[in-house]
Amino acid sequence: MPAHTQNLSKIAKIAPVLAVRAPAKLNLHLAVKDRRADGLHNLESIFLSLAFWDTLYFEPACEEKLLEISMEKEKKSGNLADFFALPAEKNIIFKAVSCFRDKTGFNRGLRIRVKKRIPVGGGLGGGSSDAASTLLALNRLAGGILPLCALAEMAESLGSDVPFFLHEAAAAWVSGRGEFIDPIEAPKGLFFVLVNPGFPSETARAFRLLSDFREGQATACGGNSGHGEKQLLLNALSGDPQNWPFKNDFLPAFLHLAKGSSGGGSSQNAEKAYLDIFARLKELGAVFSGLSGAGSTCFGVFTKMAEAKRACKILLETWDFVKLTFPSTFYLR
């Protein structure tokens, strides 16, 4: 049984309930490359799975095809109002179940309860991870009828970050639009402090901003990196985080907006929060800081647990969602 799943049948007497963890991720590095014929962009990214997760409970029901999804949120997981207001069919868990049912004809009724901890629209992959865990759980409930490659096809159709979570890797070099996953070793002995500025970031908007920014700067985005550049980045991962050459291509576009040099309207102030957060993280001892995904969660890397804890305590005076976390291998394996 994978380390992150537990069968709770002994606890729940009525029906066997499968509890599955859907971990968050960080992008330590995120380069946005050329636009493809399908309109999506090629990416090159270092993904890190975190020891911090949503939990999904799958309870089989007698009624064929029944699907009920209920969400609970943990106090600090930010404002989930938009997420809860979504019509059921727009929920990515609903989409994952529909996809699995269409492909396999596995129509057992299901009640799914989700305990959300990962902020929505925070660049931490919460929705994508929920979707991947749903595919894995359904395949397990159906007796493992599909091989990983068939699940991977479904994952890709659900969203760019879903394939990473399906592979259950501690860390990976991710390329293509997110479908090529090369598992790598997660860095050791580091502490990650996540700070969410309190607003979500919409991925499609972030790509539009980036494209406008690049046009304005006449910056070419380039195609895929050669093997040498990839190797350089991967080698750096095991070195001192102070020397990490990692970047997030969305960040300069957001900061350009924050500095008011393009008409950002009210969101201009929102993006200023990134500058504040990075400055505070540095002041508090972070040896590296960055933005995850297309925003909005920032992270700071610490080499001492005590410093990371102290930083959390201080940052919580300003921001509601601040979390100390580790690569998921830290205590799961």
Q: Which residues are catalytic?
A: 25, 161
Which residues on neighbouring strands pair with residue 297, listed in sequence order? Answer: none
Q: Which stretch binds ligand C5P (CB under 6 A): 36-44, 52-60, 148-156, 281-289?
A: 36-44
Burial 50-82 (b: 16+ CB within 10 A, else e): bbbbbbbbbbeeeeeeebebebebeeebbbbee
Query: How near is the Cβ of 268 to ligand C5P at its closest, in Å?
Result: 21
Residue among 45, 47, 46, 42 at smallest CA distance from 224: 42
Cβ closest to ligand C5P, residue 42 vs residue 196? 42
Cβ closest to ligand C5P, residue 155 vs residue 193? 155
Q: Which residues in 190-209 contact ligand C5P (CB under 6 A)?
A: 203-204, 207
The answer to the question of residue 1 lying near ligand C5P (CB under 6 A) is: no
**Cα 166 → chain centroid:** 12
Query: How near is the Cβ of 237 to ligand C5P at its closest, in Å?
Result: 22
Query: How near is the Cβ of 129 to ligand C5P at its closest, in Å?
Result: 12
User: Regarding beta strands 180-184 and 288-291, do their DSSP bridges make them parallel or antiparallel, or are they unpaired?
Assistant: unpaired
Q: Which residues in 217-236 contact ligand C5P (CB under 6 A)?
A: none
Residue among 114, 195, 186, 194 at smallest CA distance from 331: 186
Which residues on neighbouring strands pair with residue 41, listed in sequence order? Answer: 35
Residue carrying the six token digits 């404002």: 79
Residue among 167, 138, 135 at smallest CA distance from 25: 167
The answer to the question of residue 160 lying near ligand C5P (CB under 6 A) is: yes
By CB under 6 A, name the one of 159, 187, 197, 241 that touches ligand C5P: 159
**Residue 220 identity:** A
Q: Which stretch binds ligand C5P (CB under 6 A): 40-48, 60-68, 112-120, 226-234?
A: 40-48
- Show the site string, 169-188: x = touches ligand C5P by CB under 6 A, - = not: --------xx----------
Query: How near is the Cβ of 236 to ligand C5P at its closest, in Å?
Result: 23
Reading the block at residue 290, the tokens are 């960055």
Binding residues for ligand C5P, rule: CB under 6 A, are 40-41, 43, 159-160, 177-178, 203-204, 207
